[in-house]
């Protein structure tokens, strides 16, 4: 049959329709036809099409494969739903790696997860460039490579594609070497690439698109190890320098104040600070939902935080307006993807100012970004605050998460041990 939705060139997709137990599945055969060239009653290509004979033979072959597959499944008493028959006949459409990667990215976009969509897209583009430039893939799988020329809504990875099979342990090992030697990436960045690639394999296996034997991940295969990252906050003296710094431009002062509120509210995440509204403050307390996990938070407004808020009070306008101006005009935007994109841009803008303008002006020598405010609170908290209270402040579901995070900032035992040996 011809599907109803036309390609961009005005032709309609030629497809095989499978109906089993009143369930329908479609296999797009990779060709588009004008309606005048299709005999709907006979289900054949009219002679008016220059390749009618070849296309009709192709259709007959596909119909024969479908009937043979359905009969084989029934004979073996296997589940033979329309979807199963589809996957048995033509796994290639779904089992092409970058087609599945596009589906993965589209799902992230639909869920509004811009913070994952952006880096995952970049990593997959880099991986595609590497894979298509690999001799073994280029020479061994040319017949299976596809160019989705007629895709009416191509994804960000549309174009030449490869099956999952050539993406094996050997290829990923070479990719790791390439990222290290040619791109100069850190072990953590390389691990992130592997996590992204694994995230394409996992749902393909779970959705019965790919046999799990083809995964290059697992025991005796590629094992992803996340190296520990160095988490260092500012000193108390550095915080005081930031608080008292004379900044020459209002934009510098606003970026600094975003950092300070993050620190004053127990390392509040930057996205949550930027989303603060005046209506979140009631009777001397802050009430908000964490952006990351949706958990409700209620905190007393410290005196220093109130001083910062007072600087913006004259322009607060409506109760639902944002405290800071970075998201102005987005107060009623329901598109999560668009909102997170704007937030990411604002964080990048603040980080640039903190690094290039504010740190030099304040005399802060350590690394300065909005996220460092969170590390700074953890650094100064050290072992002074009971871990149960820190868990509450951080809103961690599991105290093990708090212990693991805070362990990066507690050095007293190690320092005491060193002093005991060296006589500090």
pLDDT in tens, 263-310: 999 889 999 999 999 999 999 999 988 877 777 888 899 999 999 999
Note whether 37 and 107 are same-domain residues: no
8-17 burial, b at 16+ Cβ within 10 Å, e below that, comes to eeebbbbbbe
Instruction: For residue 166, tell me if it sits in a domain.
Output: yes
User: Do the beta carbons of residue 306 and residue 289 sit within 8 Å?
Assistant: no
Q: For the segment 10-37, what is each residue's pLDDT rounded down to a tens digit?
A: 788 888 888 877 888 787 776 788 899 9
Of 216, 110, 92, residue with least CA distance to 155: 110
Residue 18 within any structural domain of the chain: yes
- Asked whether the beta carbons of 81 and 199 are under 8 A apart, the reply is no
Whether 283 and 365 map to the same domain: the answer is yes
Residue 139 lies in a domain: yes
Whole-model pTM? 0.67
DSSP category for residue 27: E
Question: In the prediction, which pLDDT does 118 show?
Answer: 94
Domain end residue (candidates: 58, 89, 120) = 89
Has residue 230 been placed in a domain? no
Q: What are the Cα distances from residue 108, in Å, to 113, 114, 121, 297?
A: 5, 7, 10, 26
Q: How far apart are CA 77 and CA 130, in angstroms?
A: 43
Distance CA 357, CA 325 (A): 19
- Residue 119: Cβ within 10 Å count: 13
Q: Do residue 83 and residue 108 come from a single domain?
A: no
Percent of the chain predicted with pLDDT > 90:
42
Does residue 420 lie in a domain region? no
162 in the same domain as 25: no
Asked if residue 181 belongs to a domain, the reply is yes
Q: Three-class SS of residue 38?
A: strand
Answer yes or no: are the C-beta atoms of 46 and 38 closer than 8 Å. yes
Rg (C-alpha) for the chain, rounded Å, is 29
Give domain status of residue 328, yes or no. yes
Residue 278 per-residue DSSP state: G
Same domain, 291 and 375: yes
Sorting pLDDT into bands at 50, 70 and 90, what band is 355? very high
Which one of 89, 106, 129 terminates a domain? 89
- Are residue 29 and residue 56 in the same domain, yes or no? yes
Tokens coding 39: 């005999």
Question: Do 240 and 377 belong to one domain?
Answer: yes
Same-domain status, 265 and 327: yes
The pLDDT value given to residue 103: 84
Domain, as residue range, for 183: 97-214
Least confident of 10-19, 97-106, 206-215: 206-215
137: how many CB neighbours lie within 10 A of its CB?
20
Count of domains for the chain: 3
CATH number for the domain that contains residue 358: 1.10.443.10
User: Do 104 and 75 sit in the same domain of this protein?
Assistant: no
Sorted by sequence, the CB contacts under 8 Å of residue 329 that are 6+ apart come out as: none
pLDDT for 84 equals 66
C-alpha distances in angstroms, 197 versus 111, 147, 246?
19, 21, 47
CA distances from 93 to 12, 56, 202 (A): 18, 21, 17
* Position with higher pLDDT, 131 vs 233: 131
Q: Cα-Cα-Cα-Cα dihedral of 300, 329, 252, 340, to 10°?
A: 70
pLDDT tens for each residue of 301-353: 999 999 999 999 877 668 889 999 999 899 888 888 999 999 999 999 999 99
Do 199 and 64 fall within a single domain? no
Average pLDDT over residues 353-359: 95
250/173 same-domain check: no
Say yes or no: 253 and 132 in one domain: no
Highest mean pLDDT among 57-71, 220-234, 331-345, 401-415: 331-345
Write down which residue in 155, 182, 214 finishes a domain.
Answer: 214
Q: Which of 145-149, 157-161, 324-328 has the highest mean pLDDT?
A: 324-328
In a domain, 207, yes or no: yes
């Amino acid at each position: 049959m011809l599907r109803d939705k036309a390609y961009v060139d005005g032709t309609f997709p030629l497809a095989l329709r499978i109906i089993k137990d009143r369930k329908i599945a479609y296999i797009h055969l990779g060709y588009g036809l004008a309606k005048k060239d299709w005999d709907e009653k006979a289900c054949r290509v009219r002679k008016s099409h220059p390749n009618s004979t070849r296309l009709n033979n192709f259709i007959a072959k596909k119909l024969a494969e479908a009937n043979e597959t359905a009969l084989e499944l029934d004979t073996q008493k296997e589940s033979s739903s329309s979807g199963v028959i589809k996957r048995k006949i033509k796994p290639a459409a779904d089992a092409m790696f970058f087609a599945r990667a596009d589906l993965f990215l589209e799902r992230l976009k639909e869920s509004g997860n811009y913070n994952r969509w952006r880096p995952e897209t970049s990593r997959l583009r880099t991986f595609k460039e590497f894979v298509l430039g690999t001799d073994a893939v280029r020479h061994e799988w040319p017949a299976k490579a596809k160019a989705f020329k007629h895709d009416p809504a191509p994804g960000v990875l549309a174009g030449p594609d490869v099956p999952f099979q050539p993406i094996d342990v050997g290829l990923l090992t070479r990719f790791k070497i390439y990222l290290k030697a040619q791109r100069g990436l850190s072990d953590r960045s390389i691990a992130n690439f592997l996590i992204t690639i694994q995230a394409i394999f996992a749902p393909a296996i779970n959705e019965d698109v790919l046999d799990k034997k083809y995964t290059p991940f697992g025991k005796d295969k590629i094992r992803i190890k996340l190296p520990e990252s160095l988490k260092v906050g500012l000193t108390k003296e550095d915080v005081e320098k930031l608080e008292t710094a004379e900044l020459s431009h209002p934009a510098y002062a606003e970026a600094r104040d975003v950092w300070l509120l993050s620190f004053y509210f127990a390392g509040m995440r930057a996205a949550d600070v930027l989303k603060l509204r005046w209506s979140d403050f009631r009777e001397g307390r802050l009430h908000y939902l964490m952006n990351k996990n949706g958990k409700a938070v209620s905190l007393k407004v410290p005196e220093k935080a109130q001083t910062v808020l007072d600087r913006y009070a004259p322009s607060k306008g409506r109760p639902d307006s944002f405290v800071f101006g970075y998201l102005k005009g987005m107060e009623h935007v329901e598109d999560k993807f668009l909102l997170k994109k704007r937030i990411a841009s604002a964080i990048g803008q603040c980080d640039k100012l903190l690094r290039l303008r504010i740190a030099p002006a304040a005399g802060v020598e350590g690394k300065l970004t909005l996220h460092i405010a969170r590390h700074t609170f953890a650094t100064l908290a050290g072992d002074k605050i009971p871990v149960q209270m820190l868990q509450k402040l951080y809103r961690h579901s599991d105290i093990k998460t708090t212990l693991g995070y805070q362990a990066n900032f507690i050095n007293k035992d190690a320092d005491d041990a060193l002093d005991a040996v060296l006589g500090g």
